[in-house]
Every structure is written in C-alpha cells, then in structure tokens.
Structure 1
Amino acid sequence: MYLLNIFVLTVLFVKSHGVNINGKDYHVDHFSENGVSKRVVYPKHGSTSTWVARSMYNKTYLAIGWDSLDLETNPEVDDEEQAFFAGYLEGLETHQAIYDHYWNTVKSDCVNETELCQRVNFYLETNIEWIKGMIKQHAASDVYWKQVNLFYQQLIGILFGYNKVAPATEELTMRDIMWINFSWDFGDVKSAMKNETNKVLKGNGHCSALIKLLRSKSDILVAHNTWTGYENMRRIMKRYSLLYKNIAGTVVSFSGYPGALVSGDDFYIVNSGLVVQETTNENNNASLWNYVRPTGQVLEVIRVTVANRLADGGRSWTKIFSQYNSGTYNNQWMVVDMKKFAPGSVKPELLWVLEQMPGYIRREDQTDVLTRQSYWASYNIPFYPDVYNMSATWALVDKYGDFFTHDKNPRALIFKRDHEKVLDVHTMMQLMRSNDFQHDPLSRCNCSPPYSAENAIAARNDLNLVNGTYPFNALSHRSHGAIDAKVTNYRMSQSQSLWAVSGPTTGAHLRPFQWSTSDFNHQLPHRGHPDRFNFKPVNFSWPAQVWAV
C-alpha cells in the first residue's frame, strides 16, 4: 500500500466508529478512565488480541501547559496499517488541539503572501510527485524509502481521523496537514524563492541547547529550550511506539505540536539509546538557495524521522540524515548515544554533531570537545568554520558585532560562565530557564535601554520596551522567546522520560506572560491557550505500554 496509491484509496467511514480500507473493515473502541481518553482499533471480524493500534490522550494542557499523547501499534500487523491507524487515532484524539494550532499558525501564514504560498504549494506538489516515484520504485526493497512511505501513511491517517470527528466548518485538507508538518521547512523554501538573507536580523533565532557531563562523569544531562513566536504555545508531549519491522528506533518520546509527526523544537529520546536535539543556523548566503530544489531532495522533517527510526548510533544517524539534503530548516544537530556512556565512563562517539546548509553537510564525532570542556552548548551560531563561512554569518560581525560570533555571542559566554552550576536535573532546568537581562552584564547591548531580553539562555523579548532602540530586530520588543524547556539524563533516557516546562520563562524579575495584559493580545491568534503561562516543570514518565487489553 504505497503512497502512490494511498491518495486514491477508497476509505469509507461505514458507521460512527468504523473504517473501511480497500474492503477491509476496522472498528474503533473508545472509553475514558480517570479523565484519560483511550481508543483501540480492531479488525471488525478479528478478536481483541488482534488489535492494530491504541492510544491514550490526557488533556492537561490548561492545567500543566502540556497535553500528552501515547500511541502504540501491534508489531504483528502490517507496517502500513500500523502507520495509518497511528495517525488515525491521533487525528481522532487531538482534533480540537489540531484545529486550535492550525488556526493560530497555518491559517494566517499566507494571508499577505498569496502568490508566494502558491509557489510553495507548487514546490510541495512537485516534491510529492518525485517522492511517489521513489516510493513506487524502491520502498519494497529499500528500508529508507519504506520509512518515507510510512511517514506519509501516518500523515494521511491524521487527516482521516481528524475529519472523522471535526465539525464540517473546521474540516481540513491534506495540504493543511502538510503545512502543519512542513512549516519548519517551508520557512526556508519561502526564503529560497524570495532569495532572502539575514533572517536572523529579523529575529528568527531559534533555541538554546546544552549537553553537560557532571563531575567525575557521574551523569550526562541533555537539555533544550525552544525559541519561537508565542502563537505556537499549544503543546503536546508525545510518545510513539510504532513497532515497525527491522528498525532500531521503535519508541520515541518528543515535545511536539498538535497534528505534527515531528518535534519541530527539535528534541527526541529514542529507545535505541539516542537523544537527539537541534538549534537552527540561518543561511545568510543567497547563492546557497540555488541548491533548494523540489526534486531529488527529502524535506528535513521526514529525514529526521527516518534517521530516528533506522539509526543505532550517532555516526549512522548523521549518515542517514545527510541523504537527500533539502537545504531547508538548516540546523546544528546533536546526537547523544547513551550506549557510549556509563557513570564514570565515556566512550568515543558519545556525541556526534552535524551542521547543514543548502548543498552541504558536515558531521563529526565531538566527544573529545565534550569531555575536554565538560559541556557542549548550541545557540544558533554554526560551530564548524566552513559552515560558518559558507552561511555568511561572518558578514554580520563587522556591522552588528559579537552577537554573530561563535565564541563571543552572549549565550556562548553565559553557557561558558554558568555550565558549572549544573549539578543535577533541577539545576539544569534552572539554567535553561535563566534570564536576568536587566542585571546580567552579558545581556547588555548597544541598545536603549542598554540590554535585551534576547541575550539570555531563555529569551523573553516581549519584555523589551516597545519604544526602546535596538540595532536589529532580534534584540527588540516582539512576540518571541523560549516557550519551554526539556531535560533528560542517562537514567531517564532509558525509558524515554524527561522533565519539561511549558511557556515563557518566569522568575524574580520576570512576570509571567499573560495574553490579556500583553500588547500582542489582539495582534496574534491564540485560540485554546490559557490566558496566563505560569506553569511548573512536569515529569513525563511513560507507562510500560499504552494500556492493557
């Protein structure tokens, strides 16, 4: 059941809880237990032991800042059925959250860029036609293309599940679901079409990340926070247990968004022993956009999914990810292989670091740097000199100063100064939520007032003055900041568990973000959000299985 055919599959909803695919009937059971929604898909004429997929959805977003979704599939079922029904259950369970997120983000994305978005859609359609051909030719014999197919099968399942229960006035199309999933790539597709550079000057800095070896190598901690616009704060923590055949990574937990199969932050904990995260490196070299093409390339969000499933180490992850480089959503990827760590011991290939630009990828083992410094920090400035030069980030230094250097960037200096304060998960979370921009000398800038809430590990640009003077937009007043933080360590990663907090950071000098008192309240859609974001860190420890049948 390859992608080439699935767009024309006869999928009929034969009754309120039934699905028919190519003449085969399926039934969905649904019940709630202690406020948690649970669903299971069975073949209509099979026994309960032949379940296909099952889900558990906890709607706790307004209480703790996160919903949680736990999906599991049956390894005895064909992989294509597993993928479709994993998506189908997600669409059923999270339909309201999907529409809220769509309303806040995708729906308004093309309002002032109609012609440009038509070009993006043509790019997408051309890419899909090429993908279909590759799947038809290779999916039966090539595990890479089989996984690409399964990505799309799951995506289509989301659409059918969503539209099964959504009101007619809120029905979505396949294109809508694809925009939710590929929005991270489409930012660079738009830039390539406009031949645009210097996005970072406009304030597109995206994420802080830290990997920390504790003293005597007693533990390793991996942490990440996501920088984005506040309209994106509709969050779901997810675990996918997709038990496909012949893959290394069958279980992955990640911080995510409604309707998206990927983290997008990105932050993943995989049962192959890998913890994978990234921060974005912007391309400021217009000539590189010539390498972004709709054929011969696979979008980044698909490549990270395939790498998470197929790889069993940092070397193989970066090799798989490097194939079919789309030149979109260009990031520094950090892959920590927990199998190379034991308390008191570090082996080579514990940390692999990959950086991507259009037409180019560099990947190396950086375990020596991690062990020598006891930390690895990432903050939207390329590490590899050739990537730094290729991206033309250097051209911004003369005009705007050390903000655009790798070693003197404010976050680089703050991480260098403060990483030794990390003693455990709690203190790592404190560092990843830190922002004392009015008092920290490393937050100062050639601004009026002379500091910016951008210059911190967890940005809060909404706190910059509306009438302040800033040399470039990234430092200014805007709806942008660190909207979360996630931390795991060696022990927790074994069960794909983590601590996470949702919403812009708070503190002694930082008031919680509140839509009703913000000047962005009437400027930005925030359907379904709480008014005030003042949540505490939450421990996500997943059960052994979704639920016993």
Structure 2
Amino acid sequence: MSVFCAASSLFLLLSLATIYSVNTQQPPLDSRSASVFLDTVKMKLEIVDGYHPNSTSMVAWANFTDNMQKTGWNYLTVTTNPAFNDTFQAYAAGLLEGFLAADYIYMEWFNSKASFCKSLTPDCQKIKKFLTKNLKWMEAQVKANPNDPYFYQMALILDQLSGLTDGYNKKPRKPSLDIDPFGFLLFQVGADLDSIEAALNTKSSKKRPLGGTHCSALIKLLPGNKDLFVSHDTWDEYSGMLKIIKKYNFGFRMTATSSKFIPGREVSFSSQHGPIFSGDDFYVIGSGLVTMETTIGNENSALWKYVQANGTVLEWMRNLIANRLASSVMEWCDIFSKYNSGTYNNEWMVVDYKHFTPGQDLPKEGLLAVLDQIPGEIVSKDMTWLLLNQTYWPSYNVPYFPKIFADGGFKKQAAEHGSWFSYDKTARANIFRRDHTKVTDMKSMIKLMRYNDFQHDPLSRCDCTPPFTGENAISARSDLNPANGTYPFPTFGFRCHGGTDMKVTSSSMAKTLSMIAVSGPTHDQQPVFQWSKSECDKQYLHLGHPDIFNFDPVEVNWKKP
C-alpha cells in the first residue's frame, strides 16, 4: 500500500470529529450496532442505535465488534434491505460503516496516511487533477449508460463512498456521485497512487527501493482431492496492522430496471478501516468465487504513458465491480480487464468453488483463472489444468505469463539483478516448490503460510552479511534483519515491513463466507513482534494497535450480534 496524499480539507474533517486523545493506545469501542431508518414523510435517512433487521422502515443495519486487543482483528457486518432502491441501500451501507468505525478510521489515517503531504504541493496538485478528471469521466459514463451493469455498479460504489464520509461526520444527507478527490476517496486509491505518482513523475515516486514486494498466496489441492485451500499473506508496513474483517450483504440489482440480483451480493474480506474494498486483497464471495492477488508492479517506465485519467477505471473499483458481477473465473477476468488503468498492477487468482467437490476429479476448466496486469496490457487464462498437474498454484509478486514478464520489464530486471527477480528461482518459488507437499490439512496449510525460518533455511540465504534475510520467506520479517548488515537491495535489510496477516478458506468454509485468519507478523519460528521493544516503535505511529502481536488463528464465522 502506498502512503496517501493528505489535503488540509480532509485533515480538518477528521480533526473536527469527537475522538479520544491520539496518545491513547486503548480504543474506546466495544461491540455496537446501528441501523439506517428512512423517514418516508421527510424522505430523510437517519442513523439509529440498535440492530433492526425486521423493521420494514430500515434501509440497512450493521454491527461493529472491537476485538483488536484480543485477536488483532475488528469485525464489521453490513446488510441492506432489498425492498429499497439500490442507491439508498448503497448510501446507507456507507453511512453505517463510517458511523460505527469512525474512531478507527481516524487512527488509520494518522498511522499510515497523514504524513505524506501536509499541503497542496505541486505534486499533490497533479494528483488531485488526475483524480478529479477520472471522477468526472466516471460520472459521465454513469449518466450516459444507465442500463449498463458495469457503470450501474460503479455508481453504487460511489454512492457507498459518499455515505461513508457522511456517516463518519454523523451527518446523513443524500447519495451523491460528487466525490471529493481528497476526501475518503484517498482511502480507496492508496495502492493505485504508487502507479499514478510514477506516471506523473512526482518526487515521491522516485523513493521506492529496488525489489519491493507485497504478499504471498497459495492455492493448494490436497491429496486425493480431499479439499482445496485458498490462502493469502499480506505484506505491508507494520503501521498497517490495524485490521478488520468485513462482511457485506447488499441487495443490489444488476441495473436499476432489473429484478435480477448481482451474483456477488454477499462478500467477506480482510481490510482496513476506511477502505470499502479489501486492499490486501482477499475476498470470499457468495457467487462461489474467491479472488486474491499479489502485487507485481511495473518495471518498464515506457508503459506509464498508458496511465490516463480519461477512459480508465482504477484498480480498486475494477475489482469490486468484477466481484459483484462475475459468476465464473473467466467472466471475472473479462470484467476486471475493462478500462485497464495500469495502476496497482497485480497477479490475480480467481477460484470457483462451484467447480470443486471434495474427493472427486477436477474439471478440465473453470476452477482456476490467473490474470497478470501491467499498464496497457492484461493476460488472463484458465489455469485449472496446471493446478491439476502440479496440485498447487503459488504467487509471490512475479508475473507468471512470459509476455507480461518481458513487456513489464521483469525479464530485464532478472538479467541485471539475478535470480531473486526471476519467476521460478526466487526464494518463495523455491520454498513453495519444496514444501507444498507437506500440506495435508488446515493446520499444515497455516504452518506453511506463516513459515519463516530465515536464519536456518538454505533457501533464505543471500549475498548478504549476515548471509540471510527475513525477506526470503513465505511470511517476511524484515524487522529482524540487522540494521548494520550489508545487503544487495534495500528491501533485504532492516525495515518495519513484513507479513502482517494470514487468511485461508476451504471448500466448506467458503460456502458460508468463512475464513481462518491470523493477525500480525509470524512468530512460529521467530520472536513475537512487540512495538515497545522494537526499533519500529520510533519510526511509525501505531494508534490503536496491540503492543504485542501474539495472536493465534481465529475462525471467522458470521453470526448475528
């Protein structure tokens, strides 16, 4: 995730809220519910306390549970009433999330975003101009294509975002497509900003170290086809460990005139407070799909010309639209590929559990698709055959498809800097290849996804002093690298960065949108991360974080509060 550009207007908006002291480490919230009521006389929406799913006048209801100090996660459920029009539903969903999560949204802002840009510098003006132009283009498409499911869902996403802002301020108004580009939109475009900054040639775009990596992912077919696990590790700066798992149940139609509900009306996902998408990204969807990605970036500067404000849709919104509209793996890829922004370039994996039955032979197609994106180009294919042949699919920030690998500059980078930048010889490729056969059940799957024994594993060795790095593992611990060591790349050295969580689902769990999740840097083979005993404590704000991330896996089963 990129740090975000902060405008003074948003800073003022956040500062005016009634919030506890920024020096406080203990959050003020417990479990709380709220609903949105429609006054049909005044045609006005109001936020009321309590969980009221049985009232016909309620547009939406939500519950927020604060378990940050107990499990390292908060939890949010938001449900909308399909008896109301979709625009009201979307706006009401945003209202409730902004209202219930306001304190954590505030903390998330200061932990990871507020320090980037404190005034409207020339770089920030460039970014604001780009985002404003892109918003105007999207608004024009929404108005010109009222019966197009793609742009209809786009409008609902913007309505939800406007509700998030108003809910945070406790001032319900009305749905709007007029989004402040330096308002809560910045929570959504954080990962896209890296690419936008590079395309605009801002000063901040030149600060990124060689070989920066984000996330590990594994799809594992168990022996005898007993089960299929889908798992993801987020890699991030440790300031980003204020995490939440959300479940949305939105009664949206395909279009305003359609009676057909969207296939992905229910979804659960790991996230942070403020974004309405995952960002990690890891989604378990009611359509039977599970979608996730690892970042590949772009190493060919000539491609940044394809990052344009007009005619493109930023990645965060493209994945939400695809999650809502797709019923199959290749349909998801086709929808996601539209209006490629060339920003937040990832390798996406899409699994369709409708095509998997435990103990039975795999189908020839339809179970797994893989998509690689760079600016100006996307390649996607059904990869069910490969999963069948090798029983696993790994992903570790390197594009699989040779054309993307070459066109995106990765082939050149590997030739110049060595095998760590290659697809099949980088450390995590070697570790997954060696250890995937050890996965026989959920316990062993979690063990592999949390694996980091970098001081002893020969596959974690590098041309470094000492001769290994905490980066060369499935779940990185770069905070354990000696600060006085010598490393060929800055990312191999000491950083307050690593694997910040793990999520996994199975064929049975996916049916109820459930998952198992672990918060915080891995401590299976390594010491527990503790802010107060780490050099990271001096480098990053971590408002609301637990001091010690000594958490066990938790099973997330969705129940009414």
TM-score (norm 1): 0.89
When structure 1 is superposed on structure 2, of 255-264 and 519-528 the one drifting more is 519-528
Counterpart of 1:521 (choices 537, 547, 550) is: 537
Q: For 1:113 and 1:226, how far apart are their aligned partners in 2? A: 31
Q: Which runs of 5+ in 2 are unaligned?
A: 1-34, 173-178, 254-259
Q: For 1:74 and 1:173, how far apart are their aligned partners in 2? A: 27
1:461-506 deviation per Cα after TM superposition (whole angstroms, max 9, x unaligned): 0000100100011111011100000010100001100000001111
Question: Counterpart of 2:344?
Answer: 329
CA shift for structure 1 position 515:
1.2
Written as runs of structure 1 = structure 2, the 5 A alignment for 1:267-278 is: 267-278=282-293
CA shift for structure 1 position 233:
0.7
User: Alignment identity in percent?
Assistant: 42
Question: Counterpart of 1:124?
Answer: 131
Q: Secondary structure at the match of 1:175?
A: coil
Task: Provide the aligned length of Structure 1 versus Structure 2.
Answer: 511
User: Is contact 2:211–2:421 with CA below 8 Å preserved after alignment?
Assistant: no
Question: Counterpart of 1:234?
Answer: 242
Q: Secondary structure at the match of 1:533?
A: coil
User: Is contact 1:351–1:365 with CA below 8 Å preserved after alignment?
Assistant: yes
Matched residue type, 2:306 = Y
Give the direction of change, closer, same or farther, for the CA distance of 1:517–1:176 in structure 2 (3 Å limit). farther
Question: Counterpart of 1:219?
Answer: 227
Written as runs of structure 1 = structure 2, the 5 A alignment for 1:290-305 is: 290-305=305-320
1:120-174 deviation per Cα after TM superposition (whole angstroms, max 9, x unaligned): 1110001011111111111x211110000000000110100001189xxxxx976
CA shift for structure 1 position 198:
9.0
Question: Counterpart of 1:7?
Answer: none
CA shift for structure 1 position 285:
0.3
**1:538 aligned to 2:554?**
yes
Question: Counterpart of 1:252?
Answer: 267
Give the direction of change, closer, same or farther, for the CA distance of 1:537–1:152 in structure 2 (3 Å limit). same
Question: Counterpart of 2:94?
Answer: 87
CA shift for structure 1 position 115:
2.5
Q: Secondary structure at the match of 1:121?
A: helix
User: Is contact 1:198–1:283 with CA below 8 Å preserved after alignment?
Assistant: no
Q: For 1:203 and 1:151, how far apart are their aligned partners in 2? A: 33
Matched residue type, 1:327 = G
Question: Counterpart of 2:160?
Answer: 154
Written as runs of structure 1 = structure 2, the 5 A alignment for 1:144-543 is: 144-164=150-170, 175-194=182-201, 201-202=209-210, 204-245=212-253, 246=260, 247-343=262-358, 344-347=360-363, 348-508=365-525, 510-543=526-559
Q: Which runs of 5+ in 1 are unaligned?
A: 1-15, 32-37, 42-46, 167-171
Q: Secondary structure at the match of 1:262?
A: coil
CA shift for structure 1 position 106:
1.8
Q: For 1:109 and 1:512, how far apart are their aligned partners in 2? A: 29
User: Is contact 1:272–1:312 with CA below 8 Å preserved after alignment?
Assistant: yes
Written as runs of structure 1 = structure 2, the 5 A alignment for 1:99-114 is: 99-111=106-118, 114=121
Q: For 2:138 and 2:186, how far apart are their aligned partners in 1? A: 17
Q: For 1:104 and 1:354, how far apart are their aligned partners in 2? A: 32
Q: For 2:199 and 2:134, how far apart are their aligned partners in 1? A: 15
Q: For 2:206 and 2:348, how far apart are their aligned partners in 1? A: 21
Question: Counterpart of 1:8?
Answer: none
Matched residue type, 1:337 = D
When structure 1 is superposed on structure 2, of 49-58 and 483-492 the one drifting more is 49-58
Matched residue type, 2:376 = G
When structure 1 is superposed on structure 2, of 147-156 and 511-520 the one drifting more is 511-520
When structure 1 is superposed on structure 2, of 60-69 and 16-25 the one drifting more is 16-25
User: Is contact 1:180–1:259 with CA below 8 Å preserved after alignment?
Assistant: yes
User: Is contact 2:82–2:252 with CA below 8 Å preserved after alignment?
Assistant: yes
Q: For 2:344 and 2:407, how far apart are their aligned partners in 1? A: 16
Question: Counterpart of 1:3?
Answer: none
Q: Secondary structure at the match of 2:475?
A: coil
Q: Secondary structure at the match of 1:346?
A: coil
CA RMSD of aligned residues (A): 2.2
Matched residue type, 1:255 = S
User: Is contact 2:234–2:499 with CA below 8 Å preserved after alignment?
Assistant: yes
Q: For 1:319 and 1:198, how far apart are their aligned partners in 2? A: 33
Q: Secondary structure at the match of 1:513?
A: coil
Matched residue type, 1:179 = L
Q: For 2:508 and 2:208, how far apart are their aligned partners in 1? A: 36
Q: For 1:303 and 1:339, how far apart are their aligned partners in 2? A: 23
Q: Secondary structure at the match of 2:167?
A: helix
CA shift for structure 1 position 411:
0.1
Give the direction of change, closer, same or farther, for the CA distance of 1:477–1:404 in structure 2 (3 Å limit). same
Matched residue type, 1:51 = M
Q: For 2:504 and 2:345, how far apart are their aligned partners in 1? A: 23
Q: For 2:171 and 2:241, how far apart are their aligned partners in 1? A: 24
CA shift for structure 1 position 528:
1.2
Q: For 2:227 and 2:128, how far apart are their aligned partners in 1? A: 46
Q: For 2:453 and 2:132, how far apart are their aligned partners in 1? A: 46
Q: Secondary structure at the match of 2:169?
A: helix
Written as runs of structure 1 = structure 2, the 5 A alignment for 1:28-47 is: 28-31=47-50, 38=51, 40=52
User: Is contact 1:209–1:377 with CA below 8 Å preserved after alignment?
Assistant: yes
CA shift for structure 1 position 18:
7.7
Q: Secondary structure at the match of 1:381?
A: coil
CA shift for structure 1 position 202:
3.7
Give the direction of change, closer, same or farther, for the CA distance of 1:199–1:408 in structure 2 (3 Å limit). farther
Matched residue type, 1:239 = K
Give the direction of change, closer, same or farther, for the CA distance of 1:472–1:332 in structure 2 (3 Å limit). same
CA shift for structure 1 position 533:
1.0
Matched residue type, 2:147 = S
User: Is contact 2:515–2:556 with CA below 8 Å preserved after alignment?
Assistant: yes
Written as runs of structure 1 = structure 2, the 5 A alignment for 1:50-61 is: 50-61=57-68
User: Is contact 1:106–1:179 with CA below 8 Å preserved after alignment?
Assistant: no
Give the direction of change, closer, same or farther, for the CA distance of 1:155–1:270 in structure 2 (3 Å limit). same
Matched residue type, 1:384 = F
Q: For 2:69 and 2:313, how far apart are their aligned partners in 1? A: 36
Question: Counterpart of 1:25?
Answer: 44
1:344-391 deviation per Cα after TM superposition (whole angstroms, max 9, x unaligned): 221111000011000000010001111100000000011000000011
